[in-house]
Structure 1
Amino acid sequence: DPLDQTVDGRSLGLGVDPDDIESDDVEGPKRSEDDADADSTAPRQAAGSDSGPGPGTDMAVTLSGACDAATGAAHFPDLCRGLSDGAHAAARTDVGAQLAGFLGGAGDALRNADRVEGTRLALALEAGAERVTEGDDGAHPGSLLAVMSAAADGALDASDAGSDLVEVLVSAAEAGLVELEQGPVADAKLSESGTVDGAAAGFLLVLDSLAAFVSGDPLPEPPRLDREPPTTPSAGAARFSVRGRITPPDPGVELAADLEVVIHELSERSSMERAGGQWIVDATTTLPGAVVEAMSGAGRLSEMHVGLAPGPT
């Protein structure tokens, strides 16, 4: 684990000299920065293209490859090299390549460490963000690269204030979340769907998980989308119109995105709009009961309408 508190037989949390971060006196072979830069900028298909995996899938595959390659590492040089090499090998799209580049840059700042505390981690997040955002034009608020940069800035601010490791991680995640929520403000498509950048949200989940591990808190739980997949309706099945308002206990963008995915899968056509602290759902479906069940699981329902949809059945 990248933050295993017994890595190299030392405890995380106290005293580090930031001046040795750029040192190259590392045992064993390692990837050069030029190699890592070449890997992170090599042409790859866009996430979500017809021939490639979606951004969430590639994030998961890339991170899994990184962890598999780093399993068994007993020292930071091996750990950092494994995370970087495994991620670069597993990445299939631009999103995975960006995550791999970030891990490579962060690894350069950590590979000579004997322990990690707030200052060291903040500098690692900064190095990771700089590795992949150097050519970014900053024109895409809420994107993966923008969230990486914001998280690094938040970590540095906390480190400058003398915060400890957990506080630096929390500050990074909070700053990243603020940036993530700028996506729907700047992107009309995200605003209309009530969603955020999936890759950026996945990156924040990694930070949240690290913070939970280091602090001893429970790890974040994935959304509960464990319903049985709906059976494909037979031709001529009746089509229903389902409309209504939902008042969720927490109108956050992640919960809205989860609900929208479920309703989309259950419907032939669907839309979900925000109105203050409510969500307005309008769906055409052959499975009205399942749609209503999904809506009721997300909050209190009001102004519900369920009826036969116009047109041929």
Structure 2
Amino acid sequence: MAQAITELQVSTNRDEEDKFKKDFTKVDGNLNSGTSGPEVFLWYKKEGNKPVTRIQFSFRTEMDHALDASGFKKIQKNINIGTNGDAIFLWYMSGTTSSDIPIVDLKVTTIVQDESRLFRSGWERLGCDLNRSNRGDPVNLWVKRNTTSYIHDISASLSFAEDKSLFDQGYICVDEDTNRDVKPPGSAVFLWYRHSTFPDNCITDIEVSLNKDQENKLEKNGYIKVNENLNAGTNGDPVYLWYKHSEDPAIQFLNVLVGDEALQVYKSAKICKVVEKNLNNGNGGVHLYVTYK
């Protein structure tokens, strides 16, 4: 079994690269790809007995408190340095819940078209575009765990005050606000999922409803409604995520696609299922779609 990653670092200049290359392994892929900012790279180390099990990103200061209080370590380097994008910081932890599964490898993609081959090989894409709001290339971090995992639970939050409780239960936040760029701003709404290494009783199908008729149809077909309106606080339609347990294979990955270009690429690749219902329906925000495999 591959040895787990135990420590992470981020370099934002040549001097830091020279310092880290003595003890760390560099992950290929500039986290500032396609921008005028400096090259930024992620580094990892495999020493010790505390495996990294969860990686999250913050791009609003309100996200920091729960991450810190839940035991995440913050790397004090803005990944979007030198750009006009959101200040993004990486956090990681060595969790001990039954949903915490060690991470053994990392990859970075900077082209949407490259993502399908990683999904096909069992890689899990994290939720935050590391070039968020700076018009650079779509940069995403991918993790490989030491064993196959499945999505056991899905939740949603409307307030950053809920984050610590979810983190403490072993949930991973999909770091993309489903009310992204809504004007006037709505609630800060995020999707969450929790892993299990046992496929039995895990989620097998995901859907989205945009109106009451769709809600009634999904309920009749045995779907379970996730707790919160993903359009909360906006003038848009009520949008809900639904999931189902059946005899189909259990889902391993859940994520949010940003924009119609990503939607078309994923549809063409036919690796993941895409729910073609905009999570920002009726509110004028960025088009967002749920994808899963």
TM-score for the superposition, normalised by structure 1: 0.25
Q: TM-score, normalised by structure 2?
A: 0.26
Question: Which structure shows the bigger proportion of residues in helix conformation?
Answer: 1
User: Which is higher, the Rg of structure 1 or of structure 2?
Assistant: 1
Task: Give the structure, 1 or 2, with the largest relative contact order (CA under 8 Å, sep 6 or more).
Answer: 2
